[in-house]
Structure 1
Amino acid sequence: MNHTSIPTVSPLNLESKAAIQHKIDQKIKPVGSLGLLESIALKVALIQETEAPEISNPHLFVFAADHGITAEGVSPFPSEVTPQMVLNFLSGGAGINAFANRHGWSLKVVDAGVNFDFEAHPLLVDAKVKKGTGNFLKAPAMSESECLSAFVKASALVQEAKEAGANTIAFGEMGIGNTTTASLLMAKVLGLSGTECAGKGTGANEAIVARKAEVIDLALEKYADLKDPLAILSAMGGLEIAMVCGAMLEAAAQRMLIVVDGFIITSALLMAEQLCPEVLDYCVFAHQSNEQGHQKMLKHFNATPILQLGLRLGEGTGAALALPMIQSAVDFLNQMNSFETGGVATGE
């Protein structure tokens, strides 16, 4: 498969891995005693190709879009909540605003495909491809050209962030119905059933969860012959998920650290991995959510999440909260004395 709109990602250069690991091991501490922080420090150093990495101007984009599948009764909330939540983001009143402000993220809200016309706002990026996806039980959610358009728009945003000095990036989402979309994508890619993937999302009851599982199984049957990742994402995906997928690929191509949020964002990474497996070299996983599907995807990636707080809000909140841990990993690598410089005996 060769799609010119899809960025090319190079694998990490591991020539310096031994030297970076030696620096980590020689800090004044028992080897491995900083746990996950040590592997994070190693990853950031490899991405930045330096033994003295830094986190600079971290950017967080929240992508919003509507989903035609809401017509099938898969969400306790009406689609009108999507633009209402976008307006809440813009007013500074959402969870992601609080956490981004606290932890130093540069926050932008991206209209990827909301069925609403927003007025201009300093925090809002108009990247609308169309006013929501179609109902994927009736027809493909979007065309491949619309999906690739989402990739192109997302790539431009990442490039702008890079030019503004960002070397760390994260993505959030808002879209009523998108847990069904994400569940379907993971079911298709991982070969699972609707029941194995569907969860409560933001508050669905058991009847709605059962309906989500039914809808997923019907869609799996409808699109059973699809194999190409771009065709799968186009038929089953959401515009916000497509943009996150494209943005992740561009961020990896730009050698940026990607902080992966929860269930919806991880489903976008699943699709990015299908298009370009090297994208995983640039990712750290912020948290494990309460969604059963998220836990299964993390297992697929053999991922160790930084936080486990029982989150299921979305918006990029888990990624925002993980930044201090990532910064701490970089700080110990740069600031902590080694046995050679600290005058402490190694015990050998």
Structure 2
Amino acid sequence: MSFSTLSEFATLLAQAPQPDMAAREGAEARNAQLTKPAGSLGRLEEIAIWYAAWRGDARPKLAAPQVIVFAGNHGITAKGVSAFPPEVTVQMVANFEHGGAAINQLSRNAGAAMSVHAIDLDRPTADFTETAAMDEVDCVAALKTGWDAVDPQADLLVVGEMGIGNTTSAAAIGNALFGGAAADWVGRGTGVTDAGLQIKEDVVRAGVALHAGKDALGILAALGGREVAAMAGAIARARSLRIPVILDGFICSAAAATLEKTQAGALDHCIAGHQSDEAAHARLLEALGKEPLVSLGLRLGEGSGAALVIPLVRAAVECLSGMATFAEAGVAAGATEG
């Protein structure tokens, strides 16, 4: 599968595979016979059955999770939308590569392979209050970077990002896709002052007004960043490979939203790992119909919240696949009730 235009990418989304319903039914049947009261593992049961359906195996294993961090720089930082300069993106990429960031620790804790992809950091996107952040060629290239970064042997995917200014980009995407006022979507990101928050709001309002009327992938190009587009490309590639995805925070969810608004159901292979402390993430998850697994006040990005819950998803899968059924354990059905 390949694409060279946004239209061709949209076609791939429309042709994406669906979950394996036989595997789902098998997982549901097995879950109903496990040595526990019906429904007693709550959402763990839902997660395991969802995972089984996408992996095409009623008794799956989760052995090869992958974490990918994409980095990009944003032209809108010149407007003063961040508490940090764009040089921090380069510095943090080096930190990722040397294993010193939170996502390194969380990936290791989860037993996940992790990679970092810095995308043209010396060539920031354009200021989206003046023109599109990316033209179609640049956006397609970033989507392909994400698409090609996914390991076909992975059995769970987390995508994260690093890019000074990208909460402003995410806010603009959310506002453009789902409406409301700019203030509904703007938060403090890296910790901007009240004055900085007003600048972000003004920037988002101007960008959304300038690019009104574009379709969802046009919005991704006009208001996104290279790392944002790369996350969307990786999530789409995972769908093509039937690899389940744990969505991270606000920026990752904004990237994912462009897929869902392009093709309804494009995120059926995704669950929300957490609800971040960024103001509009809850609004965005609600618009996507995704209930977060945890809410711990995180607002780091990098894929950190999603990587944190990889062990939770693995635990759900282990319970489905590893627990004995009543028949296997020689326990009378219903004996665990009460």
1:22 aligns with 2:29: yes
- 2:133 counterpart (141, 153, 159): 141
- 2:246 counterpart (247, 252, 259): 259
Aligned-pair CA distance for 1:50:
1.2
- 1:206/1:25 CA distance change after superposition, 3 Å: farther
2:306 matched residue in structure 1: 319
**Within 5 A, what are the aligned runs for 1:130-279?**
131-158=123-150, 161-162=151-152, 165-226=153-214, 228-279=215-266
SS in 1 for 2:202: helix
1:101 matched residue in structure 2: 108
1:118 matched residue in structure 2: none
SS in 1 for 2:118: strand
Amino acid across the alignment from 2:277: N
Aligned-pair CA distance for 1:31:
1.2
- Structure 1 unaligned segments of length 5 or more: list them: 116-130
- Structure 2 unaligned segments of length 5 or more: list them: none
- 1:57/1:19 CA distance change after superposition, 3 Å: closer
Amino acid across the alignment from 1:167: D
- 2:70 counterpart (59, 63, 73): 63
Q: Distance in 2 between matches of 1:332 and 1:166?
A: 20
SS in 2 for 1:304: coil
- Number of residue equivalences: 328
Amino acid across the alignment from 1:229: A
1:82 matched residue in structure 2: 89
Aligned-pair CA distance for 1:25:
1.9
SS in 2 for 1:278: coil
Amino acid across the alignment from 2:43: L
Aligned-pair CA distance for 1:218:
1.3
Q: Distance in 2 between matches of 1:10 and 1:221?
A: 35
Q: Is the 8 A contact 1:144 1:230 kept in 2?
A: no
Q: Deviations over 1:97-142 (max 9, x none)?
A: 1111122111111012312xxxxxxxxxxxxxxx120000111101
Q: Deviations over 1:276-317 (max 9, x none)?
A: 333312112111101121101111122221221110000111
Q: RMSD of the alignment, in Å?
A: 1.6
Amino acid across the alignment from 1:185: I
Q: Distance in 2 between matches of 1:57 and 1:110?
A: 19
Q: Is the 8 A contact 1:5 1:152 kept in 2?
A: no
TM-score if structure 2 supplies the norm length? 0.93
Q: Distance in 2 between matches of 1:33 and 1:54?
A: 21
Aligned-pair CA distance for 1:34:
0.7
Q: Deviations over 1:76-98 (max 9, x none)?
A: 11111110111111111111111
Q: Distance in 1 between matches of 2:135 and 2:327?
A: 59
**Within 5 A, what are the aligned runs for 1:44-63?**
44-63=51-70
SS in 2 for 1:3: helix
Deviates more, 1:7-16 or 1:239-248: 7-16
1:284 aligns with 2:288: no
- 1:106/1:330 CA distance change after superposition, 3 Å: same
SS in 1 for 2:116: strand
Q: Is the 8 A contact 1:73 1:211 kept in 2?
A: yes
Q: Deviations over 1:208-230 (max 9, x none)?
A: 1222112111112111232x222
Q: Is the 8 A contact 1:141 1:238 kept in 2?
A: yes
Q: Deviations over 1:190-219 (max 9, x none)?
A: 012110000111212222122211211111
Q: Is the 8 A contact 2:6 2:140 kept in 1?
A: no
2:48 matched residue in structure 1: 41
Write out the 4+ residue segments of structure 1 that deviate beyond 4 Å after TM superposition: none
SS in 1 for 2:177: helix
1:128 matched residue in structure 2: none
Q: Deviations over 1:3-27 (max 9, x none)?
A: 2245341222324433321211221
Q: Deviations over 1:254-273 (max 9, x none)?
A: 11011111111010110111
Q: Is the 8 A contact 2:66 2:158 kept in 1?
A: yes
Q: Distance in 2 between matches of 1:214 and 1:181?
A: 12
- 2:8 counterpart (4, 7, 13): 4
Q: Distance in 2 between matches of 1:189 and 1:320?
A: 27
Q: Identity of aligned pairs, percent?
A: 37
Amino acid across the alignment from 1:280: L
Amino acid across the alignment from 1:212: K
Amino acid across the alignment from 1:46: A
Q: Is the 8 A contact 1:167 1:256 kept in 2?
A: yes
Q: Is the 8 A contact 2:20 2:55 kept in 1?
A: no
1:127 matched residue in structure 2: none
